[in-house]
Amino acid sequence: MKRHATWALACCAALLGACASTPSTTATPSVRADEVGEYRAGSGLLKGYLAAGEAPDSLALVPAPPAADSPAYAADVATARRLAALVPGPRGAQARKDAQLRFPDAASTFSCALGVRVSEADTPHLNMLPRRTLTDAGLATYKAKNHYNRTRPFVALKHPTCTPDEEAKLSKDGSYPSGHASLGWAWALSLAEVAPERANEILQRGRAFGQSRSVCGVHWQSDIQAGWLVGAATVARLHSNADYRAQLAAARNEVAKARQAGTVPNAADCSAEAAALAETSQLAP
């Protein structure tokens, strides 16, 4: 099963990467939050690239979540119990970091995978790209999420989470598909086009970012897999958007300049991240 899932995700990445040949626009997308505007006033969440009605239909896209008496649900439960053991250690600490989607902190999520330090000051387009795709890919999950209203694993299994302060809110929010997994995979696919020479590292980080939600006990493994599908569909849709394509091109130029300037992330931080993420591969399917 793992080989089939990995193969499918790799194929998605390859197909979406081919879209990079789409002719670029001459438009210059904004790097200023006040010009882009908020999706909802006071939320800190910027407007995405897609207009209302343009996002993928997640309810039509993903299958129903596993039934409670199915082998797939039993596999979800077994995975949740294995990963719960990681919460007190370094992998749990990394999962807590991955749970935070507020910028500027979230800008550094893929810095180690990229080999470039990401910030609003040094790489403004590279910083804006995930800020806006976060909205598109995250919100794209809600048609299915609201329809199925699946109970989250920490509620069903009474496990601790990485983010206890969010448990009251998350217990009322549907689990399937995972919004974090969707937006994290959208980030990974986009950044793999920005820096194709680091595509393996970036896609591995995108997978681990989604897996962090299972470590935290707030998503089942099948939630994560469905989220990856919605994220890939969102990026496919984004390639028809001129601002997105232009921001990709501008971010690609910034990465090249940052490499020349030696604007790299802290090596010790990247070593610690790699060690923490390696723990998941030993337990997750």
Residues classed as catalytic = 180, 213, 219, 223
Amino acid in position 50:
L
Instruction: Name which of 207, 275, 222 is nearest 78 in CA terms.
Output: 222
Q: How far apart are CA 11 and CA 14, in angstroms?
A: 5
Q: Write the DSSP assignment of 242-264 as a string of letters.
A: HHHHHHHHHHHHHHHHHHHHT--
Task: Encode 66-91: b = buried (16+ Cβ within 10 Å), e = exposed.
Answer: beeeeeebebbbebbebbbebbeeeb
Taking alpha carbons only, the member of 222, 250, 208, 191 closest to residue 13 is: 191
